[in-house]
Amino acid sequence: MSSYSIQSQNLSKLFGRRLIFKNINFNWSDKGIFGISGPNGSGKSTLVKIVAGLIAASSGKIIHKNSDGEIIPEKLHNHIGFVSPYLVLYEEFSAWENLKIFAKIRGVNFDDQKVIYYLTQFLLENRKNDLVKTYSSGMKQRLKFIFALMHSPDVLIFDEPTSNLDEEGKKVVYNIVHEEGRSRIVVIASNEERDLAMCQEKILLENFKTIERR
């Protein structure tokens, strides 16, 4: 069983003088599917970026802990799998090359069998040697899930996971989310009812703060 936890302590974010949200507190541990929702501009993407360590909070703190203690920001990237529509992979390389490059830069073993399994799951096996620039936006989105899953991270963060996906793609994603949520922390930031229906706990961001927790 995973002993990973993410704790948010009075998290606030300002862009210049514009307040995005303030005093966000939560504690996610072990496993499960956690949701973040809210209207456009409420700070969903900003919050997941802070959780993933991609941007800093204006005040407050995010603490990632595993069985060895608190994870330092320098090493956080190896514990996170991240998918979002604004994530861009290298278009001049094929899907296979992209995944191999990322494994090497991460310093993890490139497991051919595992990557082929995910490529098959996400219906990209036949196109694995094609350059990413020839992919449709839905195929790129599916490839991002393999990018997020291939190093077996402790936390999966999906920002608008089903954007650009067709029904078949959504079905694959929902299966993956259910499956992964049984063994690790999965965070979903979305406005889609179907995406949020999978979450055991939700944070609703509105009027600069959390107004509801279910």
Partner 1 sequence: MFLQETTMRAYSLFKKDFHSELRTRYAINSLAMFIIVAISVILFSIGNETITESLTGGLYWVVIFFTAMSGLARAFVSEEERGTSLTLQLVASPTTVFSGKLIFNLILVFCMNLVIALLYSALFEKFVIQNFPLFLMTFILGNIGLAISSTIIAAIIAKAGAKGTLYPVLSFPILLPLILTCVQLTLFSFDGTSFEEAQFELAIVVGYDVIMLTASYMLFDFIWKD
Q: Which residue matches tokens 């862009």?
A: 15
Residue of 41, 63, 87, 201 that binds partner 1 (CB under 8 A): 87
Is residue 114 involved in binding partner 1 (CB under 8 A)?
no
Of 61, 106, 213, 214, the residue at the interface with partner 1 (CB under 8 A) is: 106
The yes or no reply on residue 61 touching partner 1 (CB under 8 A) is no
- Distance (Å, rounded) from C-alpha 206 to C-alpha 88? 28
- Structural contact between residues 147 and 132, judged by C-beta atoms closer than 8 angstroms: no
Which pairing describes strands 201-206 and 209-213: parallel, antiparallel, or unpaired? antiparallel
Q: Which of 1, 40, 67, 105 binds partner 1 (CB under 8 A)?
A: 105
Q: Rounded to an integer, what distance in angstroms lies between the CA atom of residue 56 and that of residue 111?
A: 33
Q: How far is CA 146 from CA 3, 14, 84, 95, 149, in A?
A: 23, 32, 12, 10, 5
Binding mask 153-192 for partner 1 (x = CB under 8 A): ----------------------------------------
Least gap, CB of 117 to partner 1 (angstroms): 20
Residues of the shown chain interacting with partner 1 in the complex, contacts defined by CB under 8 A? 52, 54-56, 74-75, 77, 80, 82, 86-93, 101-102, 104-107, 147
